[in-house]
Amino acid sequence: MLRIQSIRRLRAAAVFCSVAALSACVPSARAPQPVPPVSRAPVPRPAPAPPVPTYVDRASERPAAGLVSEVNALWRGFPGTTGIAVRRIDGDWSFGERKDELFPQQSVSKTWVTLTILDQIDQGKLRLSDPVTITVADLAVFHQPIRDRVIANGEITETVGSLIEQAITKSDNTANDALLWKAGGPDAVRDFISRKNLGAIRFGPGERLLQSRIAGLQWSQEMAIGRRFYAARAELPTEQRREALYAYLRDPMDGASPQAIVDALAKLARGELLSPASTQLMLSTMSRTSSGPNRLKAGVPGGWNFLHKTGTGQDLGGISTGYNDIGIMTAPDGTRYAVAVMLGDTTASIPERMRLMQAVSRAVARYHGV
């Protein structure tokens, strides 16, 4: 019996081993499957997008041929020694006629006096509220609306700010001379012009000495009262006056080139000469200029903004000298142009001079954007 049970156990074990061996040859459902090979073919890349075209304002690169031609025709047809310069401030072009020659500035030079004062304010040397006392001994010559108040009161006290307003907007010679000496005299203005690299711009000796030398006179302070300057000048021989005037025209002590002037105006407008506050003060003051309403300003079309400074010299024997206007024209789209028209000497009538200036500013506006 025991033998029979042993034999049965041995057979069962053999069957189990056979099944186990067979199971080992069958792959399990959980066993890892072979991974198919990865294709190494290059992946196509999309073609780069074409560059987006950039708009180029060609009008900012060069003046319109029609504008250059028209200004040239105006210049050729005008009698006398004339300098014209036009510069696009928001761009990189300028052109003109006799634009690099020196022309008498006359009251255009008040621009540099005020800029010198504002530069000193930026440096903390002066303030707009600083008082300036003006006496009869400080009076100048020609146009000086402040004179009547000085004579009536013996002396008056103004602020630097109020003198700037009178010198620029009213072209008051005494107000300008008071600012000049507050700044430190002619050398201070010349130093400003040099430090700011304004180029071919001279500054004279001050209004009294400038005008007396042009007339062939020796300055005396009594000439500042009434019409005594005119009377003293009328007593001079005509030849003496002519010699002095022509010497001035040949080598003006206050001479500036139209190109240097429009370049300086561009620097001013771009904020390269003064602090933002002083720049805005200068530009806003020039926008209130009341002199020369029929010069460049009268040719600027509606919708444009304009600011400027005029200059007017002495006359002799039908010849007028130093008849000028410089300014900044701003188009409705914000584009700015600096313009200078300077008549060194001319026999043209005042209306003819005004029409020339109007034609120049009108042409600049008409060719804007072309």
Q: Tell me, yes or no, whether 148 lies in a domain.
A: yes
Tokens found for residue 154? 């013996």
- Which of 355, 328, 323, 361 lies closest to 342 in space, CA to CA? 323
Asked if the model's pLDDT at residue 22 lies above 50, the reply is no
User: Which residue type is seen at 85?
Assistant: A
- Which of 278, 336, 266 lies closest to 305 in space, CA to CA? 336
Q: Tell me, yes or no, whether 123 lies in a domain.
A: yes
Tally of domains in the chain: 1
Q: Tell me, yes or no, whether 124 lies in a domain.
A: yes
pLDDT tens-digit readout, 160-210: 999 999 999 999 999 999 999 999 999 999 999 999 999 999 999 999 999
Q: Tell me, yes or no, whether 114 lies in a domain.
A: yes
Asked if the model's pLDDT at residue 122 lies above 60, the reply is yes
Per-residue pLDDT, 369: 84
Rounded CA-CA distance 209/229 in Å is: 12
Asked if the model's pLDDT at residue 30 lies above 90, the reply is no
The mean per-residue pLDDT over the stretch 51-65 comes to 67
Q: Tell me, yes or no, whether 12 lies in a domain.
A: no
Rounded CA-CA distance 163/241 in Å is: 32
Q: Helices (H) and strands (E) in the chain — how many of each?
A: 13, 10
Q: Which residue has the higher pLDDT, 23 or 310?
A: 310
Q: How far is CA 85 from CA 113, 117, 129, 165, in A?
A: 22, 26, 36, 27
Per-residue pLDDT, 1: 40
The mean per-residue pLDDT over the stretch 12-31 comes to 36
Q: Tell me, yes or no, whether 2 lies in a domain.
A: no
The mean per-residue pLDDT over the stretch 327-333 comes to 98
The mean per-residue pLDDT over the stretch 303-308 comes to 98
The mean per-residue pLDDT over the stretch 4-32 comes to 37
Per-residue pLDDT, 48: 55
Q: Which residue has the higher pLDDT, 337 or 61?
A: 337
Of 36-40, 88-92, 309-313, which one has max mean pLDDT? 309-313
Per-residue pLDDT band at 92 (split at 50, 70, 90): confident
Domain that residue 85 falls in: 63-366
Per-residue pLDDT, 312: 98
Per-residue pLDDT band at 51 (split at 50, 70, 90): low
Pairing of strands 103-104, 255-256: antiparallel
The whole model's pTM is what? 0.84
Per-residue pLDDT band at 133 (split at 50, 70, 90): very high
Per-residue pLDDT band at 60 (split at 50, 70, 90): confident
Asked if the model's pLDDT at residue 56 lies above 70, the reply is no
Q: The CATH number of the domain where 326 resides is what?
A: 3.40.710.10
Q: Tell me, yes or no, whether 89 lies in a domain.
A: yes
Mean of all residue pLDDT scores within the chain: 88
Backbone angles phi, psi at 156, to 5 degrees: -135, 160
Residues 6+ apart with CB under 8 A from 303: 332
Q: Tell me, yes or no, whether 312 lies in a domain.
A: yes
